[in-house]
Amino acid sequence: MELLCCEVDPVRRAVPDRNLLDDRVLQNLLTIEERYLPQCSYFKCVQKDIQPYMRRMVATWMLEVCEEQKCEEEVFPLAMNYLDRFLAGVPTPKTHLQLLGAVCMFLASKLKETIPLTAEKLCIYTDNSIKPQELLEWELVVLGKLKWNLAAVTPHDFIEHILRKLPQQREKLSLIRKHAQTFIALCATDFKFAMYPPSMIATGSVGAAICGLQQDEEVSSLTCDALTELLAKITNTDVDCLKACQEQIEAVLLNSLQQFRQEQREGSKSEDELDQATTPTDVRDIDL
Amino acid sequence: MSQPSGDSRQIPHSSKACRRLFGPVDSEQLRRDCDTLMASCLQEARQRWNFDFVTETPLEGNFVWERVRGLGVPKLYLTPGSCGGRDDTGGGRRPSPSAAVLQGTMAQEDHVDLSLSCTLVPRSSEQPEGSPETPGTSQSRKRRQTSMTDFYHSKRRLVFCKRKP
């Protein structure tokens, strides 16, 4: 008699489809990815009330919600893509920003998850400052302004394509993937990366993940430079651009590590604070 | 380990993520902004498709709209609960354009024609002379089917989904 144990993960996953990982798909992704980038640097030309630090605040909150709700990895970057595209077109008061963040998570979760986030849950996460009805109405507004183009390309779409082309031992792959995903989330919280093509963020994140891990143990047979060249070839990215992007990613990590340590020092009085400051956990374990 | 899987997505008590970021939210302003933005979405769509999505009437423009018969959906699938005052969307909600149309059509017929198809018609006056001749542009009835993205498609899909048993 076979016994089925269901306590691991309530979500059933399909096995990876090799047909979706061939070059045709990769080329298509590279062709269409730019269509889904925000149209302008909106702090300069559209928004009057919203400042860059407010985007970081709402992004950090969204990431916390996604992590606490164990959302699929793509949900957060996709939601940030919706938010940036909306803000690139619609001048918005800062008091609406959290509602918009919630709406974007609502939409991204519906698109990517088997069991999506509910409107009620998201409203609780705003400390009930918005009502589910308002969330639903604004959902339509956001959909309209995004022209219903929700299937945006995100850096996650490229990860498997990149990983399978690297001369990597298989047992290291899941660790590299995990770190790269954390880097991608980190990039999504920083406006600097909002207008970079997702393929470049993905390639830079994989590069940063491997180079970071390399310091502790042998994860790749390539040197960092050789790796960057190979990565650049995979996604048709300019080598220098890619290097610059990877450096920026590493700088963002350092920055966020420092911030984390500071918070730790300040917040050491209450242990709850430590629990809360888990934002992009995994990468913080790496010592640079 | 032994946590029941259903609880894995409950909001933990005193979760630090439950917080308001930018102070109190003015519901009145939200409502006003929502209305303004929805109106501008509708206006954009109206110009894009020369179709009034509020009253569901075709307007002058590049697209020719025609009603398609035979896609009717039995009433059964469109009325949750009773046929009377449909108030399934929760109190206080203004009837959305599509709901208004649904009700209007349903009062008259048993089947609902949510099915308008639109076709792009090349206007002969705008055809510049000596432009590269695409086969068939001379025939005025030649049409190119365009995909209705914004509003109509989603609505139709909704209806089709509900058709399936």
Give the domains, in start order, of chain B with CATH numbers.
23-62 (4.10.365.10)
Q: Tell me what the mean pLDDT of segment B142-165 comes to.
A: 40
- A283/chain B closest Cα distance in angstroms: 21
Distance between CA atoms of A124 and B11, rounded to whole angstroms?
A: 9
Tell me if A121 and B150 make a contact (CB, 8 A cut-off). no
Distance between CA atoms of A205 and A196, rounded to whole angstroms?
A: 13
B3, B7, B18, B48, best to mutate vs chain A, most A CBs in 10 Å: B18
| Chain B residue set in contact with A, beta carbons under 8 Å | 1-6, 8-9, 11-12, 14-27, 29-30, 33-34, 37-38, 41-42, 44-45, 90, 92-93, 149-150, 154
Write out pLDDT tens, residues B76-106. 665 554 343 333 333 344 444 444 344 444 4
- For residue B81, give every residue at least 6 positions away whose Cβ sits within 8 Å of its Cβ, in sequence order, or none: B88
Write out pLDDT tens, residues A125-154. 999 999 999 999 999 999 999 999 999 999
User: Of B21, B93, B35, nearest to A101 (Cα)?
Assistant: B21
The pLDDT, as a whole number, for residue A37 is 95
Using alpha carbons, list the distances in angstroms from residue A12 to A9, A111, B18, B154. Answer: 7, 16, 29, 27
pLDDT at B68 over 80: no
Does CATH number 1.10.472.10 belong to domain A156-285? yes
- B161/chain A closest Cα distance in angstroms: 17
Residues of B with Cβ-Cβ distance to A146 under 8 angstroms: none
- Determine the 3-state secondary structure of A20 from DSSP: helix
Cβ-Cβ contacts under 8 Å between A and B: the total is 106
Query: Comparing B56-60, B64-68, B157-161, which segment has the lowest mean pLDDT?
Result: B157-161
- A137/chain B closest Cα distance in angstroms: 7
> Which residue's structure tokens are 């899909």?
B157
By Cβ distance, the residue of B8, B14, B17 closest to A64 is B17
Write out pLDDT tens, residues A54-113. 999 999 999 999 999 999 999 999 999 999 999 999 999 999 999 999 999 999 999 999
- Note the residue count of chain B: 165
- Residue boundaries of the structural domains of chain A: 38-145, 156-285
The pLDDT, as a whole number, for residue B6 is 44
Residues of A with Cβ-Cβ distance to B150 under 8 angstroms: 144, 147-148
Write out pLDDT tens, residues B24-63. 899 999 999 999 999 998 898 899 889 998 888 899 888 8
- Name the CATH superfamily for A38-145: Cyclin-like (1.10.472.10)
Distance between CA atoms of A47 and A41, rounded to whole angstroms?
A: 10
The pLDDT, as a whole number, for residue B104 is 41
Tell me if B29 and A272 make a contact (CB, 8 A cut-off). no
Report if pTM > 0.80.
Answer: no
Using alpha carbons, list the distances in angstroms from residue B125 to A227, A249, B3, B140. Answer: 59, 55, 71, 11
The model's confidence at residue B73, banded by pLDDT at 50, 70 and 90, is low
Rounded to a whole number of angstroms, the CA Rg of chain B reads 23
Locate the chain A residue with the closest alpha carbon to B10. Answer: A69
The model's confidence at residue B114, banded by pLDDT at 50, 70 and 90, is low
